[in-house]
Amino acid sequence: MRIFFNGYYGFSNLGDEALLWTLLRAFEAQTGGTATFLVRSSHPVRVPPEIAARCSPVSQRIGDLLDSAEQADITVFGGGSQFQDHGHWRKLRNLIKPYWIARRANRLAGLGLSIGPLHTFTGRALTRRIVRRMQPLLVRDADSRAFAASCGVAAKLGSDIALAGHLHCPPASAVPNLRLALALLPAGALLHADPGADRAWTSSMRRALRDVSGQDANTVFVRAPFQRGIDEPCIRSALASVPAERQADARLAEGPEIALEDLNQCSHFIAMRLHALVFATLLRKPVLIISYHPKVRRLAEQLGYHERSILELEQLRDARLLAAAIADLVLNPAVFMPQCSVDEISRHVCAQLDACIETLVS
């Protein structure tokens, strides 16, 4: 059996790498080591070492993508926010290749997806045509399931599939001093092509982190760019007032499991990236969540995080409020932990994912 994975792979995005590892291992478990895997990838991407020999990369060229969809028994749109336009016409180009891949696929599935925001007529129309071809479809939030229902598709509702238990996660470690992981991103530049929109909140974050740094000389700030090559300038700007010797880099370029081991040495997280929230949850670390996108708040609410642990992006402009939230994170870590059973959610997501894969490979 040949399976083609279409996703945001090979762009140095740790979250999408975690989704890919989850899907590969989930399919491996149900195919007994007999399947071969084609992976759409912009650049070489790490895969689980036990499966690497049966994984082949597929370039971004439209001809290669269509050939792979035709040659594969199953094409999987695997994980993440693959269908969104945020009301910008320029983002519609990201839906063209998926549309043609869906047209050529012998059998099409969507596993672990978010759908939206879709604010243009064309974006909604293209996505509807893709979604109608998906069977099965597993989504990670209620709004995505509602969109699927509007297309006449009965989607299963899970959570983020990186929670499904296919990543080897170390037991939570006790960290004696404050070691704060920062997973920030330039939201204004990415979502609205407006780099200036990030300057105000990074300035507030810089002042707040300077205050935290001044309160405890043992505090270490860990730069955790979940999309390498994109997030670093934003994180460095936020840490510009913190002495260099108090900063460290997380090892995020060696695959999700090495990243989990390294981030386990942190005591607390500040997470804008959705999968920074996922990793903090897996590691049982208290996390201050910054909701820059609807998907972040949806996941935080699914996991039962207290409202005190969630800040909207607009609130970051208030340096005093941000400093108070970080102080609350440090002083009251229990408030910044999920109130739902993470193990129960993991079992539910795993069961949903396994049920979808079983229908595909049986």
336 in a domain, yes or no?
yes
Which pLDDT does position 181 carry in this prediction? 98
Q: Within a domain: residue 282? A: yes
Q: Which residues of the chain have pLDDT under 50?
A: none
What pLDDT does residue 192 have? 67
Q: Give 207: exposed, middle or buried? Use CB within 10 Å, 0-12, 13-18, 19+.
A: middle
pLDDT at res. 86:
75
Same-domain check for residues 134 and 190: no
Give the model's pLDDT for residue 213: 93
The answer as to whether 174 is a domain residue is no
Q: What CATH number corresponds to the domain at position 143? A: 3.40.50
Shared domain check, 152 and 9: yes
Residue 187 structural domain = 179-341
User: Do 255 and 151 belong to one domain?
Assistant: no
- Strand 156-157 with 2-6, pairing: unpaired
Let me know whether 100 and 202 are in one domain.
no
Neighbours of 248 (CB within 10 A): 15
Q: Specify whether 108 is located in the same domain as 231.
A: no
Q: What is Dmax (Cα atoms) for the chain? A: 60
Asked, for residue 202, whether it belongs to a domain, the answer is yes
Please state, rounded to an integer, the average pLDDT across all residues of the chain.
94
Q: Is residue 266 part of a domain?
A: yes
Give the model's pLDDT for residue 222: 98
Enter the pTM of the model: 0.96
Instruction: Look at phi and psi of residue 106 and say left if phi exceeds 0, alpha if psi is from -120 to 50, else beta.
Output: alpha
**Structure tokens that stand for 90 in this block:** 């320029």
Q: For residue 208, is it within any domain?
A: yes
Query: Under a CB-based contact definition with an 8 Å cutoff, are residues 228 and 259 in contact?
Result: no
Gyration radius (Cα) of the chain, Å: 20
Instruction: Please say which residue of 90, 123, 157 terminates a domain.
Output: 157
Say whether both 89 and 194 belong to one domain: no
**What total of structural domains would you count in the chain?**
2
Q: Residues 133, 207: one domain?
A: no
> Are 144 and 232 contained in the same domain?
no
Which residues, listed in sequence order, are joined to residue 138 by a DSSP beta bridge?
Answer: 111, 156
Whether 195 and 129 map to the same domain: the answer is: no
212 and 150 within one domain? no
Check residue 188 and give its pLDDT: 82
Q: Is residue 173 part of a domain?
A: no
Residues 31, 77 within the same domain: yes
Answer yes or no: do 63 and 205 share one domain.
no
Alpha-carbon torsion, ordered 342, 11, 189, 208, to 10 deg: 50
What pLDDT digit, counting tens, does each position of 155-178 carry? 999 999 999 999 999 998 889 999
